[in-house]
Structure 1
């Protein structure tokens, strides 16, 4: 199941995009685009598919997706049958974030938000509720008044310590400057995750001692190098399970696993289902989509 490329068009005279979409059902359309996407889902209950993440969502679900991350929502259950489902979608480019942060030092936290959103962020219930109230006002506002309200939402999201990443197959975007050293390490790991990578090799690339590297890595990735490498491998396997018909043994080997039984154990521990069941869930969703 190859994701479709979506051409997101930002209207002339606008620096970001807004979509107010009322639907009877939310169809399964597996797609991606180069913009960040903030999606609020109202009056709907169903499933969200983001990269290798598959999870249920409830009304008021709020997610920020990074660029080029395959995703879709799917729902046929309305909470209030007399009202349509509603998706409020905001699109913006990384350059938009960088330009805002460069012009206004007060908006530096937006850079950190963008860096964390690579694998998609799901926000805490409290922050989502506050943000939903504001996002639902955007559509009715005159265009010039929308931007301050959107920035208010994004700054609130940037401060949400309860936000959690959803997918593992996207590389989080890293801002320049102090993170450049770790960007070199992440690039190397993403290029060589199928191989055995020694911790010493990564530390050398970061020009740090082993101890300093381990602390620095954990601060940026919120996990150990070994855990991050495992996420990359499982993420690659999930991508192949979704998008190809390759045998599971072949997928395991291409993801860097030399032992199929070990792969199956690691996959089940990470996704709570077997590789075969994971593939079946996605294919069933695509078949029953309205």
Structure 2
């Protein structure tokens, strides 16, 4: 298998966002920017950017790539990606003449909303949604309603646009029929010290997942007994310590499978597993496919798509 092509996702910059590609021109929008484009389009590639992106597919079917997630999409596929989360949509049923409009997209920044939420309590209702979006959220049963919202947002300006945008965010925040696409979320805590503590724990696990990790070691670093840590960690992540470590290691394995041409056995050990059979079993449980199947599907990511 030849994996010599560039595999690092590209950072999308403002100079690439011309009106000829489907973006609203600079100076015609405020804090919410709209985009719609067909296929093919020069924008389409494995990429990331600093904004959140609400992405609605209106035509074609194919495969979606969000972080380490690979899955199928079809018209009505609705996903919210967080800042700097790589993503790509690859169509597989495009007519020879292409399609004029495949994607309807909304982009917005993180900091303005968080700052506003400090003064306007009502906006705090969308903060858990923004946290989940760091891992990519696919919504179900929302595409028709959201399509209407996106139309109204695109057709309006100023306060009317921002009002429609907030209504759209509010509806997505209230949606309970969704799934997270890439790795595991952290639960929100009411107090900042607890939020900081779990963030510190997860950062440590993520940075050291390639080495042996024990709950005794990590709970001691967190200043808790193992029983206290077990309860706290499960509440914070929705997982046991062992399950979470396995998920982090599988996520690392996915990155290695996508970004390198290492043998799968080497990927197993580099990701932190010490047994190939256990690695294959955990990978299948979490990703629904074998490492070999994942790598084969990941190659399609570098075709045309956004």
Task: Flag whether TM exceeds 0.5 (same fold).
Answer: yes
Aligned: 1:17 with 2:23: no
Are the equivalent residues in 1 in contact too, given 2:88–2:305 (CA < 8 A)? no
Instruction: Normalising by structure 2, report the TM-score.
Output: 0.83
Q: Separation in 2 of the partners of 1:211 and 1:198?
A: 13
Equivalent residue for 1:245? 261
Q: Which residue of 1 aligns with 2:215?
A: 199
Quote the residue 2:3 is aligned against.
Answer: none
Which of the residues 126, 131, 156 maps onto 2:146? 131
Q: Is the 8 A contact 1:118 1:173 kept in 2?
A: no
Offset at residue 55 of structure 1 (A): 0.6
Structure 2 unmatched runs, 5+:
1-6, 18-24
Does 2:215 align with 1:220? no
Change (3 A) 1:284 1:72: closer
Task: Give the RMSD, CA atoms, in angstroms.
Answer: 2.9
Contact 1:185 1:206 in 2 (8 A): yes
Measured against aligned partners, the alpha-carbon deviations of 1:175-214 in whole angstroms (never above 9, x if no partner) come to 8714112111111111111222222333334444433332
Change (3 A) 1:100 1:163: farther
Q: 1:155 aligns with which of 153, 170, 175?
A: 170
The residue that corresponds to 1:92 in the other structure is 108
1:145 to 147, 157, 160: 160
1:34 pairs, out of 10, 26, 50, with 50
What does the per-residue CA deviation read over 1:99-148, in whole Å, with 9 as the maximum and x for residues that have no partner? 121121011022111111111111122x3332222112222223432111
1:271 maps to 287
The verdict on how the C-alpha distance between 1:113 and 1:285 changes in structure 2, with shifts beyond 3 A counting, is closer
TM-score (norm 1): 0.87
Q: Output aligned runs, 1:92-111, within 5 Å.
A: 92-111=108-127
Change (3 A) 1:82 1:286: closer
Distance change >3 Å, CA 92–CA 201, structure 1 → 2: farther
Superposed displacement of residue 225, structure 1: 1.7
Distance 1:105 1:287, change over 3 A: closer
- 3-state SS in 2 of match to 1:161: coil
What is aligned with 1:165?
Answer: 180
Counterpart CA distance in 1 for 2:94 and 2:225 is 55
- Alignment partner, residue 21 of structure 2: none
Alignment of 1:171-182 (within 5 A): 177=192, 178-182=194-198
C-alpha distance 267-100 of structure 1, shift in aligned 2 (>3 A): same
The list of structure 1 runs, each at least 4 consecutive aligned residues, that deviate by more than 6 angstroms after superposition, is 173-176
Unaligned runs of 5+ in 1: none
Q: Pick closer, same or farther for the CA change 1:89–1:172 going to 2, 3 Å.
A: farther
